Amino acid sequence: MSETDDTELEARLAEQDEFEPPESFVEGANVTDPGVYDEFEESWPDCWEQAADLLDWDEEYDQVLEDSNPPFYEWFTGGSLNASHQCIDRHLPERADEAAIEWVGEPTDEPDRTITYGELYEEVNEFAAALRDLGVGEDDVVTMYMPMVPELALALLACSRIGAPHSVVFAGFSASALAERMNDADSEYLLTANGYYRRGDPLDHLAKTNEGLAEVEHDVETVVVDRLGEDGFGHDLTDDQHDYDDLLADHRGAEVEPVERDAEDMLFLMYTSGTTGKPKGVKHTTGGYLSWVTWTSQAVLDIKPEDTYFCTADIGWITGHSYIVYGPLSLGTTTVMYEGTPDYPDNDRLWEIVEDLEANQFYTAPTAIRSFMKWGEEYPNRHDLSSLRLLGTVGEPINPKAWKWYYKHVGDEDCPIVDTWWQTETGGMMVTTLPGVKNMKPGSAGPPLPGVDVRVVDAEGGEVPAGGAGYLTVHKPWPGMLRTLYRNDERFIDEYWAVYSDTDSDDPEDWVYFPEDGAKVDDDGYITVVGRVDDVVNVSGHRLGTMEIESAVVAAEGVAEAAVVGADHDVKGEAVHAYVILEDGHEAGEEMRARIEESVEDAIGPIARPERVVFTPELPKTRSGKIMRRLLEEISDGEELGDTSTLRNPDVVEDIRQDVQGD
Ligand code: WTA
């Protein structure tokens, strides 16, 4: 293409704010009938039989939705099924020799691993048998603290095979974060690895695991995957630590009958951050969750069994659960797992994987796209990406500029982009375009999916008119929804329902789910999600609680008080800024900064490390003593300051502002 054409193209793209789905895509898309929106609305909740019908039930359900005790909804009651059967066994007649998982390790000098459905069946059965022998019974929570190696995906399926809920803790989280989650769930079993590779270097993950285990209040049986081989750090395993390969060898050829699970039985727990300092154990169930991720994988990601599908998330977060493991495997497709970072050994690593494996879908986070943009189009241009049929984004708002770059330089203007809004709690996608049906608008996630009742409301709960801004709310239950917070029904109601519901009512119409996101709505019902309205920061698509970070900052010796805010960041979306008051006798400076950083790394992990630490003699407070974090955020973002009249100490704000903004 000539340079003039290219400039013209840029100009056209820059102006265009609505894109039709490419014809080539629509021709073969899984969903193309615009009538699906009306159809689902008219037949709700029975429309969700279409999702449940994608699964293979042991016992048919007798009721789609049981809503007599809101917000404790139940879906597909009376039905029973097994998740590992859905993701493995039922595909064997057709797909035993087809790849289920294409695993790519970070080092380029070791072979990738292809695991066929047949092999997946064998190894999952062997590991399920081994877990049982270790004592894992139905409903025992098994924790996984694992890097992106195939054993992690296999372990989720092995647990679900024997009806043991898993609780995956992101490997980048700290030892204390692991212990806190294991203690909360009383989890007596742990799967971990001796390490993994990051930008070429082996990391000692077992040392961190052992530190965490020292803080766990009960006995734990641990299984250790030897990821590093000769690069390992030479730890000896203790009596209650078992080598994964040895366990498999002891159970070679074992077969374990999938346990029949009630639709409402727990499939897994996933801890996520919220308003208070303590992580919340989000509970997902077998029937509803699996129906949800299977249906959305088909309708939104347009997955077909013969596809190779690549999602760059980590299985330590919900996206990896729903859209690397359960959704894609339930549809019998090939799912790609990549261990490393996008910039190792060079900035084209992901494009190399797409080209090599001829991936058809690519699903990533806006923060990654902003990095790709910064690195430059030469990296995707080096590779043949013509196998791609659909692109997706998730985790945070995408700015139109990044959207258009993705559309042009990765999708070659020939792939629809699905900007999918959802959360750990929703289990799967809620707001996004159906790619074969709806036009795309860069920056706007789109309309709610068919059968999903998402509205934007004001503080009183009234629907905001087209063009307005307010809060995102969900007005009808959906099969993939969380059922409760683990062993804490009260907090479940407080966190998600109390704001907009009449909590004394038994009428589901009076119950409204509040995801704690701000949003705008266009005249055609397209929703633009702006970001969290609670004390959660979204750093590179990773959801972190400011309260958790604050308590880690305050734990550093010499810190008297701290306020943590999410500041705008070009690549990460948000970055952590900590405003810190020191105790008398302690000095602001590099040493203190390092101590604070270390404290945050120990409590949560490097992802939560403050990008900026501002030492201040005072924090802006209301007359009732509440820290006004909003003002600090405005200072961090270099914005005009809002109303300071309600402050007890208005002068301090100007001092901090001058200090930070430097004028
Ligand atoms: C944000 C990740 C804008 C939102 C799947 C939500 C988004 C939080 C989008 C959930 C999107 C997710 N546009 N914001 N397409 N997708 N978010 O639980 O603030 O890690 O509440 O789940 O990410 O983060 P979580």
DSSP string, 469-534: EEEEEE-S--TTS--EETT-HHHHHHHHTTTTS-TT---GGG--B---EEEEE-TTS-EEEEEESS
pLDDT in tens, 22-50: 999 999 999 999 999 999 999 999 999 99
**CB 43, CB 49: distance < 8 Å:** no
Q: For residue 427, which amino acid is it?
A: G
Peptide bond into 380 cis (omega under 30): no
Q: In terms of domains, do 596 and 620 share one? A: yes
The residue contributing the CA closest to ligand 1 atom 23 is 395
Q: Model confidence over 307-341: pLDDT tens digits?
A: 999 999 999 999 999 999 999 999 999 999 999 99
Q: What is the CATH number of the domain that holds 491?
A: 2.30.38.10
Check if 539 has its Cβ closer than 6 Å to any atom of ligand 1. no
Answer whether residue 413 is part of any domain: no
Count the neighbouring beta carbons within 10 Å of the beta carbon of residue 86: 26
Report whether pLDDT(594) > 90: yes
Q: From the CA of 536, how far away is ligand 1's center (Å)? A: 11
Same domain, 222 and 247: yes
450 close to ligand 1 (CB < 6 Angstrom): no
Residue 1 has pLDDT above 60, yes or no: no
Counting the structural domains of the chain, the total is: 3
Q: Kindly give the interhelix angle for 117-134 and 150-161, rounded to the nearest 10 degrees.
A: 60
DSSP notation for 204-259: EHHHHHHHHHHT-SS--EEEEE--SGGGS--PPP-TTEEEHHHHHHHTTT---PPP
- Judge whether residue 2 has pLDDT over 50: no
Calpha distance 163→159 (Å, rounded): 6
506 and 607 assigned to the same domain: no
- pLDDT tier for residue 644 given thresholds of 50, 70 and 90: confident
Rounded to the nearest angstrom, the distance between the alpha carbon of 541 and the centre of ligand 1 is: 7
| Mean of pLDDT over the chain | 95
Task: Indicate if 472 and 575 belong to the same structural domain.
Answer: no
429 in contact with ligand 1, CB cutoff 6 A? no
Domain boundary among 229, 259, 289: 259
298 DSSP assignment? H
Establish whether residue 317 lines the binding site of ligand 1, counting it when its CB lies within 6 angstroms of any ligand atom. Answer: yes
CA–CA separation, 538 vs 531, rounded Å? 8
Q: Which residues contact 13 (CB under 8 A, 6 or more apart)?
A: 404, 407, 408
Distance from chain centroid for Cα 288:
18
Tokens of 266: 């727990």
CATH number of the domain encompassing residue 559: 3.30.300.30
Residue whose CB lies within 8 A of the most ligand 1 atoms, among 396, 426, 449, for a mutation test: 396
Q: Is the CB of 172 under 6 A from ligand 1?
A: no
Q: Which of 314, 394, 417 to mutate to test the pocket of ligand 1 (most atoms within 8 A of CB)?
A: 394
**222: pLDDT strictly greater than 90:** yes
Same-domain pairing of 191 and 236: yes
Any atom of ligand 1 within 6 Å of the Cβ of 540: no
| Shortest-distance Cα residue to atom 14 of ligand 1 | 396
Instruction: Note whether 490 and 544 are same-domain residues.
Output: no
Centre of ligand 1 to C-alpha 448, Å, is: 14
* Ligand 1 center from residue 425 Cα (angstroms): 10
Q: Is the pLDDT of residue 349 over 70?
A: yes
Q: Are 535 and 547 in contact (CB under 8 A)?
A: yes
The average pLDDT across 376-392 equals 98
CA nearest to 292, candidates 497, 450, 68, 528: 450
SS3 state of residue 170: coil
Ligand 1 atom 25: the closest Cα is on which residue? 423
Whether 597 lines ligand 1, by a CB cut-off of 6 Å, is: no
Comparing C-alpha atoms, which of 550, 546, 548, 528 is closest to residue 538?
546
Flag whether pLDDT at 4 surpasses 60.
Answer: no
Q: Give the percent of the chain with pLDDT over 90.
A: 89
Write the CATH number for 217.
3.40.50.980
pLDDT of 359 above 70 = yes
User: What is the spatial order of strands in the sheet that 527-532 belongs to?
Assistant: 454-457, 469-474, 517-521, 527-532
Helix axes 175-185, 590-603, angle to 10 degrees: 30
**Average pLDDT over every residue of 508-524:** 95
CA–CA dist 374, 53 (Å, integer): 44
Q: Is 180 in the pocket of ligand 1 (CB under 6 A)?
A: no
Q: Which atom of ligand 1 is nearest to the CA of 532?
A: 19
Atom of ligand 1 nearest to the CA of 420: 15
> Mutation test of ligand 1: which of 426, 526, 529, 530 has the most ligand atoms closer than 8 Å to its C-beta?
529
Output the pLDDT for position 6.
63
Q: What does the longest C-alpha to C-alpha distance in the chain come to?
A: 73
- Would residue 210 count as lying in a domain? yes
- Shared-domain flag, residues 248 and 182: yes
Residues with Cβ within 8 Å of residue 513, at least 6 apart in sequence: 71, 473, 474, 475, 477, 481, 496, 497
Q: Residue 648 is part of which domain span?
A: 535-662
Verify cis geometry, omega within 30 degrees of 0, for the bond prior to 305: no
In angstroms, what is the span from residue 429 Cα to ligand 1's centroid?
10
Q: Facing residues of 168 across strands? A: 144
Domain assignment of residue 208, yes or no: yes
How many angstroms separate the alpha carbon of residue 46 from the centre of ligand 1?
A: 27
pTM of the model: 0.94
Q: Which of 195, 225, 259 is the last residue of a domain?
A: 259
614 compared with 12, residue with greater pLDDT? 614
Stretch 576-592: mean pLDDT, rounded?
A: 95
Mutational pocket test of ligand 1: of 425, 543, 607, the residue with most ligand atoms within 8 Å of the beta carbon: 543
Environment class of 604 (CB within 10 Å of its CB; exposed 0-12, middle 13-18, buried 19+): buried
Q: What is the distance in A from the centroid of ligand 1 to the CA of 635?
A: 25
Percentage of the chain beyond pLDDT 70 is 98
Instruction: State the distance from the centre of ligand 1 to the C-alpha of 313, rounded, in angstroms.
Output: 13
Stretch 271-280: mean pLDDT: 83
What is the 422 CA–ligand 1 centroid distance (Å)?
5
The sign one gets for the Cα dihedral 548, 553, 555, 560 is: negative
- At 562, phi and psi to the nearest 5? -150, 150
Q: How far is the CA of 206 from the centre of ligand 1 (A)?
A: 31
Residue 228 CB partners (closer than 8 Å, separation 6+): 194, 195, 196, 202
Report the C-alpha gap between 509 and 501 in whole angstroms. Answer: 9
- Whether residue 45 is preceded by a cis peptide bond, meaning omega within 30 degrees of 0, is yes
Domain termination site, one of 212, 233, 259: 259
Same domain, 518 and 638: no
**Domain presence at residue 349:** no
Least confident range of 56-65, 72-81, 204-213, 653-662: 653-662
pLDDT in tens, 91-133: 999 999 999 999 999 999 999 999 999 999 999 999 999 999 9
The residue written with tokens 């704001």 in the block is 499
Ligand 1 pocket check for 496: Cβ under 6 Å: no
- The contacts of residue 131 (CB under 8 Å, 6+ apart) are 142, 158, 159, 162, 164, 189, 223
3 state DSSP class of 127: helix
Range in 138-147, 285-294, 482-491, 637-646 with the lowest mean pLDDT: 637-646
Q: Is the CB of 314 under 6 A from ligand 1?
A: no
What would the DSSP string read from start to end of 547-610? Answer: HHHHHHHHTSTTEEEEEEEEEEETTTEEEEEEEEEEPTT---SHHHHHHHHHHHHHHT-GGG--
The pLDDT value recorded for residue 16 is 84
Burial class of 43 by CB neighbour count within 10 A (0 to 12, 13 to 18, 19+): middle
Which of 509-538 are b and which e, b meaning 16 or more Cβ less than 10 Å from the residue's Cβ?
eebbbbbbbbbbbeeeebbbbebbebbbbb
Residue 120 lies in a domain: yes
Q: Which residues pair with 196 in a beta bridge?
A: 203
Please give the pLDDT value at position 5: 57
How high is the pLDDT of residue 7? Answer: 74
- 462 and 588 in a single domain? The answer is no
CA gap 13, 413 in Å, rounded? 10
Q: Are 480 and 292 in contact (CB under 8 A)?
A: yes
Residue 279 lies in a domain: no
Pair (116, 255) in one structural domain: yes
**Residues 553, 507 share a domain:** no
For the CA of 431, the nearest atom of ligand 1: 15
> 329 near 115, Cβ under 8 Å?
no
Looking at the domain assignment, is residue 491 inside a domain? yes
Confidence of residue 433 (pLDDT cuts 50, 70, 90): very high
207: which 2 tokens? 């040392």
Determine which residue's CA is closest to atom 12 belonging to ligand 1. Answer: 395
> Which residue owns the Cα nearest ligand 1 atom 10?
423
Position 551 in a domain: yes
What is the pLDDT, as a whole number, of residue 663? 59
Output the pLDDT for position 455: 97
Residues 504 and 563 in one domain: no
pLDDT classification of 649: cutoffs 50, 70, 90: confident
Could you give the CA distance from residue 483 to residue 270 in angstroms, rounded to a whole number?
12
Distance 603 CA to ligand 1 centre (A): 23
Higher-scoring residue by pLDDT: 623, 273: 273
Eight-state DSSP code of residue 59: B
In short, whether 405's Cβ falls inside 6 Å of ligand 1 is no
